[in-house]
Amino acid sequence: MKRILFLAFISSALFSCQNDVKSIENPIAVTYTQTQKTDTVDTYFGTEVPDPYRWLEDDRSPETEDWVKRQNQVTYGYLDTIPFRAQLKERLEKLWNYEKIGAPFKEGDYTYFYKNNGLQNQYVIYRYKTGDDPETATVFLNPNTFAEDGTISLGGASFSEDGSVLAYSISEGGSDWRKILIMYTESKKIVEDTLVDVKFSGMSWYKNEGFYYSSYDKPEGSELSAKTDQHKVYYHKLGTPQSEDALIYGGTPKEKHRYIYGNVSRDNRFLTISPRVSTSGNKLYIKDLTKPNSDLVTILDHTNSDTYLITNVGSKLILSTNLNAPNQRVVTVDASDPRPENWVDIIPETKNVLNASTGGGSIFASYMVDAVSKVMQYDYDGNLIREVALPGVGSVGGFGGKKEETELYYSFSNYKTPGSTYKYDIKTGTSELFRKPEIDFNSDNYESKQVFYTSKDGTKVPMIITHKKGIELNGKNPTILYGYGGFNVSLTPGFSIANAVWMEQGGVYAVPNLRGGGEYGKEWHDAGTKMQKQNVFDDFIAAAEYLIAEKYTSSDYLAIRGGSNGGLLVGATMTQRPDLMKVALPAVGVMDMLRYHTFTAGAGWAYDYGTAEDSKEMFEYLKGYSPVHNVKEGVSYPATLVTTGDHDDRVVPAHSFKFAAELQAKQAGDAPTLIRIETDAGHGAGTPVSKTIEQYADIYGFTLYNMGYKVLPGKVKG
């Protein structure tokens, strides 16, 4: 669920001036397709719970396929009638069409980088001989050739120690199930058979001999929705078939975990195994690869913390952990006896959340200070070298690399500043601008400010509000309130093309840092989990009330949006407070809280949610906010556009299907409740640019139209 779908929002231009309107004079007529109901009933702790749309969980049935087609016909029939939808798409394409280049990285004799010319569906990997002019770079791997429509994407890429071999994974139709291909980098020839049935996996090389990866046994039934809960780590030796891959961990009932990852240290000395039963907390084991047939040594035998190896110097291990340190600390210990009682702090916990990385022989401690980045550079003994001078107030990413590097690259961005790449000299601590995108957007015309508002229980919650300078606080600004609030995910400031166009037209974009996220460490995360999940919804509702009270917007001009766990946030908020917003935009949401754990890897989300099988109290709590179970007859819900993908095997589309069916059956008002189901698309990762632009045009055309606009609200931009 982490890092799951952080879409940024809306757009247009090509706009004409428009007077304020509060209602649609000639609303688009909607005739919903009928959704069959069945008598399915589940019993939890003596309570019967009807599930009339259970049949929609069968993603392979002809009936479900027919329902999807009929729903899309209704939805696109509505969207096709919105007068400015084509203008939205045109403006999105125009602004999206600029060159985007990632930070360079060295592998073997070459320097590589990712590049998108503008509207390419997938990024392309280029390379040039290190030391040569970067202008001599040529295409190394072009994922746009994988499928004509861009629906096969590059999932990940990992080079062997000397850079001579590449293992890369591909995703078909957005699925989490991946295939791994192996290529000789000099000749660019594919070698060996493709590895199949790989899921939730990295590829970690041991020298040039092979790599570790993770997967599940193929489930019975639909691979898009059937439960998968025993992850396994394998070692693939080059030149051997996948059937001979060595099972390293996860093959016995004692080793059963929902997620297990294997990673090799950069010096090839150690393998760490990190088993998890949920998305938070891991055990940790280490194996000395220099000793044949060595045993796994236990570092942690419980899942009460998030702990991982940052780097090592010989047998000296350097770990990052939140064990007894909710905001994370960095410790060192010898591999001969790496138990916690032997750990020694080298970067102690502070009041700010730490994320540690290494490069060029230094440790870079990236802190979140009220969701804004601050970076400190330390040596391996924990001695402070310097605070890194950043280009401004915002978010940085990077500060990672090999030990022998003398310079690193990092990215900088915020809600109004397009992401730029900087080159950092590790010895001197100086940064220089390496690459700035050429985009037709003037950041100086916009402002971003952080406010702190009070939630229902008195908790202070930060929120960043971004908009064009000089807007009038009259309660009539179209506003998007975006949230997530879960899984220790931190929403830090970042630029988006779609946000830029939204703000060009006078739109307000607001992002609160809700409990359940990671902005203030483990305690902040835990305060939005299980029996405290309502805190997240209360924080979001309070954010909306703040924006209304301060006249940024009003309920007539407010849209709420979120994806995945954020889709749950939107679903719960709109069913608890349907009066609060004009438009609701839940994307790939977790909507059935009584059954989410029965699909794919959903049981791994129980740390955040709990399950309906845990206890009567937990069942009643989940049922109390589960969006599917809280749509009520006779209630006027906001205009709602549910979005999902038919190949989403992380949050299966049945969640969205059942929620949309409930809304359509019970909506008392005139506002449309539609579902847009993207075909050959998954949870969001790898979605082709062309599909992304179409989705934004549809979503925000729907949003503005239902806020009462008959033409787009801004001035035409040439």
**Which residue in 564, 626, 647, 656 is the catalytic one?**
564
Q: How far apart are CA 3 and CA 518, in angstroms?
A: 12
SS3 per residue for 35-68: CCCCCCEEEECCEEEECCCHHHHCCCCHHHHHHH
Give the bridge partners for 467, in sequence order.
Answer: 447
Whether 334 contacts 342, CB under 8 Å:
yes
Structure tokens at 8: 């940024």
Q: How far apart are CA 644 and CA 143, in angstroms?
A: 24
Q: Is 683 a catalytic residue?
A: yes
Q: Which residue, among 622, 625, 628, has the nearest Cα to 662 in the 3D structure?
A: 628
Q: What is the DSSP string of 236-264?
A: EETTS-GGGPEEEE--SGGG--SEEEEEE
* Burial class of residue 466 (count of CB atoms within 10 Å of its CB; 0-12, 13-18, 19+): buried
**Dihedral sign (CA 49, 50, 53, 58):** positive
Q: How far apart are CA 642 and CA 651, in angstroms?
A: 13
List of E strands, 200-328: 204-206, 210-215, 232-237, 246-249, 259-264, 270-276, 284-288, 297-300, 307-313, 316-321
Q: How far is CA 512 from CA 482, 533, 708, in A?
A: 7, 16, 26
Phi, psi for 373 (deg, rounded to 5): -80, 145
Q: Which residue, among 494, 501, 458, has the nearest Cα to 95 in the 3D structure?
A: 501
Phi, psi for 387 (deg, rounded to 5): -85, 135
Phi, psi for 623 (deg, rounded to 5): -60, -30
Which residue's structure tokens are 């969980």? 57
Which residue's structure tokens are 């016995």? 252
AA letter at 291? K
Question: Which residues fall within 8 angstroms of residue 565, CB to CB, at 6 or more apart?
Answer: 1, 4, 484, 485, 486, 487, 489, 516, 590, 608
**Dihedral sign (CA 643, 647, 650, 653):** positive
DSSP summary character for residue 667: B
Question: Which strands make up the sheet holding 210-215, listed edge to edge?
Answer: 204-206, 210-215, 232-237, 246-249
Give the up-direction half-sphere exposure of residue 693: CA atoms within 13 A in the CB hemisphere. 21
The number of residues making up the chain comes to 718
Q: How far apart are CA 452 and CA 394, in angstroms?
A: 17
Q: Which residue, among 409, 347, 431, has the nearest Cα to 381 in the 3D structure?
A: 347
Q: Is 647 a catalytic residue?
A: no
Q: How far apart are CA 203 and CA 275, in angstroms?
A: 16
Give the up-direction half-sphere exposure of residue 644: CA atoms within 13 A in the CB hemisphere. 31
The count of other CB atoms within 10 Å of the CB of residue 23 is 9
Q: Which residue, among 485, 469, 467, 488, has the nearest Cα to 477 in the 3D structure?
A: 467
Q: How far apart are CA 490 and CA 493, in angstroms?
A: 10
* Ramachandran area for residue 572 (φ above 0: left; ψ -120 to 50: alpha; else beta): alpha
Task: Write out the catalytic residue numbers.
Answer: 564, 683
